[in-house]
Chains A and B, each alone.
Chain A
Amino acid sequence: MTLDARIPEGPLAAKWEQHKFNVKLVNPANKRKYDIIVVGTGLAGASAAATLAELGYNVKAFCYQDSARRAHSIAAQGGINAAKNYQNDGDSVYRLFYDTIKGGDYRAREANVYRLAQVSVNIIDQCVAQGVPFAREYGGLLANRSFGGAQVSRTFYARGQTGQQLLLGAYSALNRQIAYGKVKMYPRTEMLDLVMVDGKARGIITRHLITGKIERHSAHAVILATGGYGNVFYLSTNAMGSNTTAIWRAHKKGAYFANPCFTQIHPTCIPVSGEYQSKLTLMSESLRNDGRVWVPKAVGDKRAPQDISEEERDYFLERKYPSFGNLVPRDVASRNAKQACDEGRGVGSTGLAVYLDFADAIQRDGLDKVSQKYGNLFDMYAKITGENPYESPMRIYPAVHYTMGGLWVDYNLMTSIPGLYATGECNFSDHGANRLGASALMQGLADGYFVIPYTIGDYLAQMKTEKVPTDHPAFNQAEQEVVSRVNRFLNTKGTKTVDQYHKELGLLMWDYCGMARNAEGLRFAKQKISELKADFWQNVRVLGANEELNMTLEKAGRVADFIELGELMVDDALHRNESCGGHFREEYQTPENEALRDDENFAYVAAWEYTGDNQPENLHKEALNFENVKLTQRSYK
């Protein structure tokens, strides 16, 4: 079967307009006859739920948190891109499109990325109208700054909490529809399975996290907006609850999983300090505008940073990439930090860190100016590490941040299951192999406010309005599977905790399927994960009952799915015999140790089809055709 991405015909710039005209419409009076389920209420989910309800559909929205406002979109710091050209610096839709395609190392679909750039302009208008307090100039107009990978100032921001403010905008739009009764909100509710009727997505099975009640929800279409799966690595910058269960369950029901091994590693994270550590905290990338990255030249030099003289320091990014210096893209900065540590030149007690030094900036601009720019980040660092970054350099290390892989979707954001859509981070679509900064927020809101409300109508208009009753045999069967899985966890009564398995999996994934991989390591990891999986189902210990708040039970289900996803990530990394973006296969590199792409053989989306437990998955390839950009080797020298 060849994957049909349903990319509209015609010139790039006209595709979306033409497509909006071609899609079938649902009569306003008929919209209220359709029910739509939205799982997840971050930027992609809340914006979709609110907008679909505004249009007149009946929406049921679900989130595992206690409030829709706590989705992990809230933690995004930096900003959101839009091709507004307010700064008159030559920005345009085409330039944003071009930067994004290039930033993704030519592994994203042209048509999707162009549409993203087009609607970026509407996103800012929409958010401002909702009262999102973006940064402004003294004259009252919106302020912009520039972000990694772009040479124009197109990033809109709200101090260091852009994600929080954008999400509050979407959450308020959602609240309005909840108050109108057009959205029924289900917080503290987790989707545990997808219900299929006649080959179409027609509902979900959920568990209420306080009462344990298993419920059935029927709809005409289901939208998954459940975010990324970076917690497969255990330590990541994701919220603790971010998980893969919804998309993994959908995958097992027939939704193809695309580019699972594409994980973005962020270079400026506070390093791991002990085995108890539960999560990693990102420091804004903007720090690299003034901070200088270095390690000692000598292997094993454990002296305090102030005792190491200038001549004994290696400012490796400035040395290797003179034109971009400390501002090289995320994958380049990350890989070089790892390399320095692998050579034994890492700093701090673990040796897994490099210095980010502000001494020169403080000397040049003064303490006040540096503190004005980065004060809140310095405070955060001091709070977490107990060290004063004004006096000694920060220590940073790369960390898992964002997953570019996800469910395969066509141009309409529909997965390979009719009636099942995936939006935001949980789909694979717009970022290619190495997402740029400030583009994730853009995609979440583009999908939710401006894409899915148009494209889902095309599907609904072609189906009957009859509802599937929740006593349909497909619901019985799906619920039965969920209940027996829950019981299996509770009855295993093993000796190892869920967290022990999660940590073990995470370490395997990080060591062998992280920033740098090779075939031998991936094969080793594959074997180890398979053993871990067998052991998990024999020896996991979940106490308590289903009919109560049971956080261990919640975690057990999520970790079981992470283990299976981990296997697929390893397979995907193993089959891609090239290095692209942050996905560095050590066998494929240039003489200067840079990523070596193979456009001849790998300019495609790898979409995996589930074929049964413990069976190898089928690989489907969606060829990526570049008609508007020329594929070039990225260089930041």
Chain B
Amino acid sequence: MNLTLRVWRQKNANSPGQLVTYNANNISPDMSFLEMIDVVNEDLTIKGEDPIAFDHDCREGICGMCSMYINGRAHGPEKGTTTCQLHMRKFNDGETITIEPWRANAFTINKDLSTDRSALDRIQQAGGYISVNTGGVPDANEIPIPKNIADKAFDAATCIQCGACVAACKNASAMLFVSAKVSQLALLPQGKVERKTRVENMLAQHDAEGFGACSNIGSCAAECPVGISLENIAILNREYLGAKLTSENVG
């Protein structure tokens, strides 16, 4: 396959960026999208041009590092897929592909397609954990958890923190991401003790980082590569309301 790429090139956060056109020739349909860029980068290097910077690591769809806007969609056209698991057979010979970084006020551009998503870590640090020290915990089977609850918590826990939900949202809201962690921990008995402070603190940090408000459009869930459900946002809202309206002892 021969393709035309329009790639966002930007030296660093303080420089202006622009779309630059490259040819990607002799691309095999079996290549992953990132391998296609690898090939383009090898060509650029041989020609003495700066290769395209992009974030990637496990290339198995699980680490959440890869992040690209492809033809106007987070992680590209295939549903439920990270960029590293997107393959070139999903594109047509002769096609023009536009590749841009995640765009959100809370994510600054490091270079080209690489963005700074550390705001998501800071939201986790605001309360995305259970306060338990190592050692001295009860036997794991002492607190039974019904399978349906455990499964629901698990569904929320699968979020890979890639930021596609932010990139896909017109308000650049990270609410789907926050809601996944809040509901996972609120559903589990171990997480109930801190549920009130957790949801308040995580949401306060979310806003402080410059993410926008949720207006329930749902593009986040539509573009989420691991299928985090909008139901988590409903749980988040309920948790938040509960925290605001009740005493320390949320029922």
Chain A residues within 8 Å of B, Cβ to Cβ: 47, 50-51, 54, 65-70, 72, 74-75, 84, 86, 122, 124-131, 133-142, 158-159, 161, 164-165, 168, 171-173, 175-176, 178-179, 185, 187, 210, 239-241, 273-274, 276-279, 281-282, 380, 383-386, 449-450, 453, 495, 497, 499, 541, 543-544, 548-549, 551-552
Contacts and interface: CB of A to CB of B under 8 A. Distances in A.
B120 A67 contact: yes
A176 B146 contact: no
Interface stretch (B132-140, B210-218, B234-242): B132-140
Contact of A66 (B29, B42, B55, B139): B55
16 contacts: A124-B140, A129-B190, A133-B154, A140-B146, A168-B157, A175-B121, A175-B129, A176-B129, A210-B111, A276-B31, A278-B35, A386-B87, A543-B48, A548-B11, A549-B114, A551-B53
Given A281-B60, A549-B110, A178 B125 contact: yes
Contacts of A133: 150, 153-154, 157, 184, 188
B190 A75 contact: no
Contact of A499 (B34, B42, B188): B42
B161 A176 contact: no
Q: Which of A51, A141, A158, A273: most chain B Cβ within 10 A?
A: A141
B81 A67 contact: no
B19 to A, nearest CB: 19
B157 A75 contact: no
A131 B117 contact: no
Contacts of A385: 30
A168 B135 CA distance: 18
A126 B135 CA distance: 7
A68 B125 CA distance: 12
A310 to B, nearest CB: 30
In the A-B complex, the 10 residue pairs with the smallest Cβ-Cβ separation, listed nearest first, are A140-B144, A172-B129, A129-B137, A128-B140, A133-B154, A549-B111, A51-B134, A239-B58, A179-B125, A136-B150
B60 A130 contact: no
Interface string B101-116: 0000000001100101
A142 B147 CA distance: 9
Contacts of B114: 549
A544 to B, nearest CB: 6
Interface in B22-61: 28-32, 34-35, 38-39, 42, 45-46, 48-51, 53, 55-61
A127 to B, nearest CB: 8
A499 B184 CA distance: 41
B232 interface: no
Given A131-B188, A164-B158, 10 more contacts: A54-B133, A72-B57, A75-B60, A128-B143, A131-B153, A131-B184, A136-B144, A138-B147, A276-B38, A543-B50
A558 to B, nearest CB: 13
B16 to A, nearest CB: 16
Give the secondary structure class of B's interface: loop
Interface stretch (B1-9, B62-70, B168-176): B62-70
B28 A274 contact: yes
Contacts of B121: 67-69, 175, 185, 187
A131 B190 contact: yes
Contacts of A168: 157
B118 interface: yes
Nearest to B123: A175
Interface in B70-91: 81, 85, 87, 89
B50 to A, nearest CB: 6
B246 interface: no
Contacts of B167: none
Interface string B151-193: 0011001101100000000000000000000001100101100
A544 B45 CA distance: 10
A497 B38 CA distance: 12
B30 A274 contact: yes
A69 B190 CA distance: 21
B249 interface: no
A497 B47 CA distance: 11
Given A125-B139, A142-B141, A281-B60, A131 B85 contact: no
Contacts of B39: 276
Contacts of A131: 129-130, 153, 184-185, 188, 190-191
B143 to A, nearest CB: 8
A70 B162 CA distance: 10
B118 A187 contact: yes
Nearest to A187: B118
Nearest to A72: B58
Given A172-B128, A386-B89, A72 B45 contact: no
A295 B130 CA distance: 51
